[in-house]
A and B are shown apart, each in its own frame.
Chain A
Amino acid sequence: MAIATTNPGETRGRRRFDLSSPIVYLVALIVICATVVPVAYIVVNGFRTTKQINESLAGWPDPWTFANYNRVLFGEDTLFWNQAGNSSLIAIGTTLGVVVFGVMAAFVIARYEFKARNAMYALFTAGLLFPISVAILPLSIMLRTLGLNGSPLGVIIPQIAFALPTTIIILVPFLRAIPKELEEAAMIDGTSRIGFFWRILLPLSGPGLVTVGVLAFVNSWNAYLLPLFVLGAGGAGQANYTLPLGVQQFSTQYSADTAGVLAFTSLAMIPALLFFTLAERRIVGGLTGAVKG
C-alpha cells in the first residue's frame, strides 16, 4: 500500500520537471557547442592552406587539403613522433614511480600504528599547497648540479615527487577501507605483513591504483613548466622535447605557417583526447574521490 501511494507522487514530481525539458536540452546544447566548437575550429582549419587562411581567417576548407597534417606527421624533418615518444616515456616513468612509491607509503600510513604516522600524513597533505612554481628555481639548480638537466629523468623524478601528495591522499582512505579481518586471517595463515601487502592488498586496491595512475599520467602528459626549465632552458634540443613544449616551439618557429601550426596543435590534442575517452570514468572518479578525501 505504502508503495502504491508514493509512486504516483514520484511520477507527478518527475512530470513537473519534464516541463523544463526543452530548456535543459537547450542549455546542454549550448554547453556542448561552447566546449566542442573551438576544438573543431582548430581541427577543421588545419585542412586549409595558408593561402586560404591568409585570405580569410575564418572559413570552410575549400578544397580540403591534407598537406598540413601530412607534413606534421610524415614530413622529413618532423619532430612530432619524437616528441610524442618523449611525452610517453616521461608519462609512463612518472606514472610507474608515483603508483609504486605512493601505494607503499599509503600502505604504511593506512595500516601501521606508529608515533610519527599522523605527522607523516600531514607532511604529505601539506604538499597540496606546494606548487611547482614555488620550487622551480632551486629545483632547476639542483637538477643542473645532479647533471639531470636536459634528460627525461630530470622531468620524471621531480614529477614523481610532486604527484605523491595527491596520490597518497587518494590511496590512504582506499587502503584503510580494506577490512582488518582480512589482514588477521592472512596473519593466522602465516602470511607476513609484506606478504599481505603483495598478495591481498595490491590486488584489492586495483581500481584505486588505476585512478591515481591515470591522474599522474594525464598531469605528466600535459605538464609545461618543469619541461620548460629542464628540457627547454636545459638545452635538450627540440628532438628531446615533450609534446606541449614542442607545439609551443613549433608555433613560435613557424608562426608564418598558420596552417601548419593549426595542424600541429590539432594533432597534439589527439593523444590526450584518446587517452581520456578510454579512462574518463577513472579520471572523474579520481577527482571526485580526491575531493571527498
Chain B
Amino acid sequence: MSNLSRKRLEIGFFAGPALLFYVGLVIIPIVLAAFYSVFRWDGLGPIVDPTCIDAYAAAGSLGPNYCNRFVGIENYTRAFADPVFISAIGHNFFILALSLVIQGPLAIGIALLLNRKMRGRALLRLLIFIPYVLSEVVAGLAWKLLLLPNAGFDTFLDLLGWKGDKPNWLAEPDVVMWTMFLILTWKYVGFAVLLMLAGLQGVPEELSEAAQIDGASWWQTQRHITLPLLGPTIRIWAFLSIIGSLQLFDMVWVTTKGGPNFSSATMATYLVEIGSSRQQIGFGTAVAVILFVISLVIALVYQRFALNRDLEGAMTGRGR
C-alpha cells in the first residue's frame, strides 16, 4: 500500500466515526429544519405526496401551492406576524441585556474581591459552583417551590423588612421575566465568577504590585491594570452568555412553560410548544431557523468586532 493511501485510510478510520455522527445528527437535522420550514406539515406521513407531484409533473408545472403543503415563506411571515413570537424574541433579548449589564459586573466584582489568598478559598470555589452543576430542571423546580406565595423567598424578604403583600413571582405577567432573570443569575453567576477568577490567574501579580508601589489605589489598580488584562475572559464570558440567553429553554419550560399567557415565552419554548404540542413541524422549524439565524448573526458580528483576537487560535486552528 502506498504511503498516501495508507494516510488517507488512517484519516478516514480516525475521523470517520465522529464525522458520521456529527454530520448525520447535527448538520443534517439543521438542513432538514430549513427544508421543512417551507412546508405545512404535521410530521406524519410523507412531506410531499408523490401522487400529487406526479399529477403536477404531468400537467407540466408545480404551481404556487403544489399539493397544498409547500407554502414558501408563509411560515416565516406567520411567525413574525404573531405578537406572541415577537414578545418571545423580546424576552430572549431582555435576559441577554440584563445578563450583560448585571451578571457580568456582579461576577467581575465578586471575582476581584475574592482574588487573593484567603482562608477557605477552595471551599468557596466549590460552593459557588453548586448552582451551576445542578440540572436546570432540579434548580427550576427548587425555585418554583421557593417562590410559592409565603414560602422561603417571601419569608426571606420578610426578614429583610419587606412586610406586606408581595407579587406572586412566577404567576404575574409583569414580574415573571424579572423572576426568571433572578433564577438564571443564581444559576449562572458562580460559573461567571469562576471564569473571571481563572482569567485573573493570568494577570501577573507584579503589575498590580508595581502600581501599588507607585501609589495607585486598589480601585485604580483594578480599573487600569487588572480589568483591561481580564478583557479576553470577559469577552468570552459575554459570548457564552449571549448564546445561552438566545437559546434559553429548560429553566423557562420547567418553571412556567412560558406562561402565564406567554409572558415568559422564549423563542425555544415557542418552537417546542408549536412543534411538539401542536404538531406543526413546518411552522416549528421555521421558528427554529429564525432562532438559528439570529444566534448566528449575533455570533458573527460579535466575533468580528469583539472576539476576533481572543479566538483567533481556536477558530482558525493555527496554534494559540
Q: Which A residues fall within an 8 A CB radius of B?
A: 9-10, 12-13, 16-17, 20-21, 23-25, 27-28, 31-32, 34-36, 38-39, 41-42, 45, 56-58, 97, 100-102, 104-105, 107-109, 112, 114, 117-118, 120-125, 127-131, 133-139, 141-142, 157-158, 160-162, 164-165, 168-169, 172-173, 176, 193-194, 197, 218, 221-225, 228-229, 233, 243-245, 247-248, 251, 258, 261-262, 265, 268-269, 272-273, 275-277, 280, 283-284, 287-288, 291-293
Q: Which residues of A contact B43 (CB under 8 A)?
A: 137, 141
Given contacts A16-B212, A58-B152, A121-B317, contact A134 B288 (CB under 8 A): yes
By the criterion CB–CB under 8 Å, are A273 and B141 in contact? Answer: no
A36 touches B127 (CB 8 A): yes
Q: Check B134 against A17 for contact (C-beta < 8 Å).
A: no
User: A133–B148 contact, CB under 8 A?
Assistant: no
CB pair A9 B213 closer than 8 Å: yes
Residue pair B126, A221 in contact (C-beta under 8 Å): no
Question: For B17, what are the chain A residues with a Cβ–Cβ distance below 8 Å?
Answer: 100-101, 104-105
**In chain B, what residue has the closest Cβ to A17?**
B116
Q: Is the CB of A112 within 8 A of B127?
A: no
Q: Which residues of chain B in 108-161 are interfacial with respect to chain A, using CB atoms and an 8 Å cutoff? A: 110, 113-114, 116, 118, 120, 124-131, 133-138, 141-146, 148-152, 154-155
A27 lies within 8 A of B113 (CB)? yes
Q: Contacts A58-B155, A104-B14, A161-B24; is A269 near B29 (CB within 8 Å)?
A: no
User: In the complex, what residues of B have CB within 8 A of residue A292's CB?
Assistant: 320
Complex contacts, A221 vs chain B, CB 8 Å: 135
Residues of B within 8 A of A (CB-CB), count: 102
CB neighbours of A27 from chain B (8 A):
110, 113-114
Set B15, B143, B292, B311: member contacting A120, Cβ < 8 A: B15
A124 nearest CB across to chain B (Å): 7
Binding site for A on B (CB under 8 A): 7, 10-11, 13-15, 17-19, 21-22, 24-30, 32-33, 36, 43, 110, 113-114, 116, 118, 120, 124-131, 133-138, 141-146, 148-152, 154-155, 186, 190-191, 193-195, 198-199, 208-209, 212-213, 218, 233, 236-237, 240, 243, 247, 249-250, 253-254, 268, 271-272, 275-276, 281, 284-285, 288-289, 291-292, 295-296, 299, 310-311, 313-317, 319-320
Enumerate 6 A-B pairs (CB-CB under 8 Å) in ascending A order: A58-B150, A112-B7, A124-B22, A135-B33, A161-B24, A165-B22
Pick the 6 closest A-B CB pairs, nearest first: A293-B314, A222-B135, A105-B18, A161-B25, A58-B155, A138-B32
Cβ-defined contact, A283 with B133, below 8 A: yes
A45 to B198, CA, bound (A): 36
The reply to whether A225 and B249 contact each other, CB–CB distance below 8 Å, is yes
B11 touches A276 (CB 8 A): no
Which label, helix, strand, loop or mixed, suits the secondary structure of the A interface? Answer: helix
- Least CB distance, A131 to chain B, in whole angstroms: 4
User: Which chain B residue has the least Cβ–Cβ distance from A120?
Assistant: B15
Q: Which of B118, B126, B144, B310 contacts A25 (CB 8 A)?
A: B118
B138 contacts A265, CB within 8 Å? yes
Which of chain B's residues have a CB closer than 8 A to the CB of A125?
A: 314-315
